[in-house]
Amino acid sequence: MRRGRRLGIDAGEARIGVAASDPDGLLATPVETVPARDAPAAQRRLAELVAEYEPIEVVVGLPRSLHGGEGPSARRVRAFAEQTARRIAPVPVRLVDERMSTVTAARGMRASGVSAKRGRARIDQAAAAVILQVALDAERASGSPPGECVQVVV
């Protein structure tokens, strides 16, 4: 397992959930929710978080269908990840499968007594933490970085 903090991102159309790992890559925790409607402002805030946390990489959840296919949401997230990668280079951005992350996060929030309506922003953060935790666990199990690295085209 590579040592170093990582950021996890759940890139929604309305909100972007952000989570961070500890330096040993053991545990992902929610950080904040960034409004996504103003894309330039959202990208600026994400770059500020990268500067603050100094991660070795950023992990972005890629929404796939239950059968593994990619639709319009996946294309939107790929474009978002490429834009983010250009902005935060040389910090690498990796895309990882995020199937069921929001459902898992929402269940956890409900189990802890947070209503879906009151906890939307927190659910996005929790989904980012689920995405990041899955990536951390996958790297720990395989010894290799998870997902696919986003190539920055200059």
For 17, 56, 60, 105, 142, the CA distances from 6, given in Å and listed in that order, are 14, 6, 11, 19, 17
Closest to 42 measured CA to CA, from 105, 89, 87: 87
Q: Quick check: is 112 in a domain?
A: yes
Stretch (H or E) spanning 95: strand 93-97
- pLDDT band per the 50, 70, 90 thresholds, residue 113: low
Cβ neighbours of 38 (radius 10 Å): 11
Which H/E stretch holds residue 136?
helix 120-142
* pLDDT above 90: percentage of residues in the chain: 71
- How large a percentage of the chain has pLDDT more than 70? 82
Positive/negative CA dihedral, 19, 62, 148, 45:
negative
Is residue 41 domain-resident? yes
Q: Which pLDDT does position 64 carry in this prediction?
A: 82
pLDDT exceeds cutoff 90 at 99:
no
CATH number at residue 85: 3.30.420.140
34 within domain boundaries:
yes
Q: Is residue 140 a part of any domain in this protein?
A: yes
> Once rounded to an integer, what is the mean pLDDT over residues 112-136?
80
In a domain, 154, yes or no: no
Extract the tokens encoding 66: 């239950």
Instruction: Give a yes or no: residue 108 inside a domain.
Output: yes
Question: 132-142: per-residue pLDDT in tens?
Answer: 999 999 999 99
Distance in angstroms (rounded) separating the CA atoms of residues 93 and 90: 9
pLDDT value, residue 69:
79
Looking at every residue in the chain, the average pLDDT score rounds to: 88
Q: Can you give the pTM of this predicted structure?
A: 0.87
Does a structural domain hold residue 46?
A: yes
Query: How many domains does the chain contain in total?
Result: 1
Range of the domain at 71: 6-149
Average pLDDT (44-59) is 98
Contact criterion met (CB below 8 Å) for 11 and 61: yes
SS3 content of the chain, % helix, strand, coil (to 5): 45, 20, 35
1 in a structural domain: no
How does residue 117 score in pLDDT terms, banded at 50, 70 and 90? low
